[in-house]
Structure 1
Amino acid sequence: MTTIGVTGHMDLTEESVPLVRAALDDLLGAYEPGALVGVSCIAAGADSLFAEAVLHAGGRLVVVLPSTDYRTAKVKPDHAETFDRLVAAADEVLVMPHETADRQAYETANRTLLAHAERLVAVWNGEPPSGKGGGSADVVTEARNVGLPVDVVWPVGAARRR
């Protein structure tokens, strides 16, 4: 069994989505389908693309939600259908003990994701932390600090919306 967590940018350009999806399919295709578990917070962008790639590869999905109000407070209408489908497809849904999706809730969710993972996939452009906390660069740093292997996925042509 291999358990892989994900962190990544939410604001991928529309042109980046198929590039990232193909790179994730290639990466996860190397794992035995019945022995793959993906752990994701299923936010829009990289988290959901990873979760879909795990399911496409025949793996199992564990969803980590930052707070009890996450679905109603943070999931935008254009992501709701994907979010609901991924929650329904998950083998397990872990809801963090926070009422509100705030910085503390995201940090708890990220720590939980890393605690469940044997390695981390980072759909990340390699830029340093923004200073806001809880972003992709922060999660990569935390993973490396605890000795988790990190696979950075940022295909040629990938970009963030500006």
Structure 2
Amino acid sequence: MRIGCTGHQNLSPATRRQVAQAIAEQIALTADDELIGITNLAEGADQLFSFSLLAAGGQLHAVVPSKSYESSFQTFQLSQRVQGSSAPCR
């Protein structure tokens, strides 16, 4: 199954927790052996989706909209995953 996600970037800590929980719940409901998530990895909801998807054992297909896109990430961990050859996303 393929699912996609895009959402707001600037989330308060309380909203981040609620969004992360809701995303994890939805992924759990739709998870199967061939779960593929599609997103552009922007800060906020897109990254919450990505981490939940990977935690559930899914594959991540990233839409990278520009060269050096990872330099716009404030989250160092995800920036390193996108740059590195061992990145868990395509």
Mark yes or no: TM-score above 0.5. yes
Residue 75 of structure 1 deviates from its aligned partner by: 2.2
- Work out whether residues 33 and 58 of structure 1, in 8 Å CA contact, stay in contact via their aligned partners in 2: no
Q: Does 1:83 align with 2:79?
A: yes
Q: Name the structure where strand makes up a greater proportion of residues.
A: 1
Give distance in 1, aligned partners of 2:11 and 2:88. 23
Moved over 3 A (4+): none
CA distance in 2, matches of 1:32, 1:6: 15
Q: How does 1:64-143 map to 2 (within 5 A)?
A: 64-72=63-71, 74-76=72-74, 79-85=75-81, 87=82, 88-90=87-89, 92=90
For the residues of structure 1 that align with 2:17 and 2:73, how far apart are their CA atoms?
Answer: 22
Contact 1:28/1:53, CA 8 A, preserved across alignment: yes
CA distance in 2, matches of 1:58, 1:89: 11
2:8 counterpart of 1:9? yes
Contact 1:40 1:63 in 2 (8 A): yes
Larger Rg: 1
CA distance in 2 between counterparts of 1:42 and 1:84 reads: 12
Cα 1:69/1:83, change in 2 over 3 Å: closer
Gaps in structure 2 of 5+ consecutive residues: none
**C-alpha separation in 1, matches of 2:27 and 2:16:** 16
> TM-score normalised to the size of structure 1?
0.49
Root-mean-square deviation (CA, aligned residues, Å) is 1.4
TM-score, normalised on structure 2? 0.85
Would you say 1:37 and 2:26 are equivalent positions?
A: no
How many pairs does the alignment contain?
Answer: 86
Residue type of the partner of 2:58? G
On the 8 A contact 1:3/1:38 being kept in 2, the answer is yes
State the SS of the aligned residue for 1:84. helix
SS at match of 1:25: helix
For residue 11 of structure 1, report the CA deviation from its aligned partner.
0.4
Deviation sequence 1:61-82 (CA, Å, 0-9, x none)? 011111112123x223xx1222
Q: Unpaired runs of 5+ in structure 1?
A: 93-162
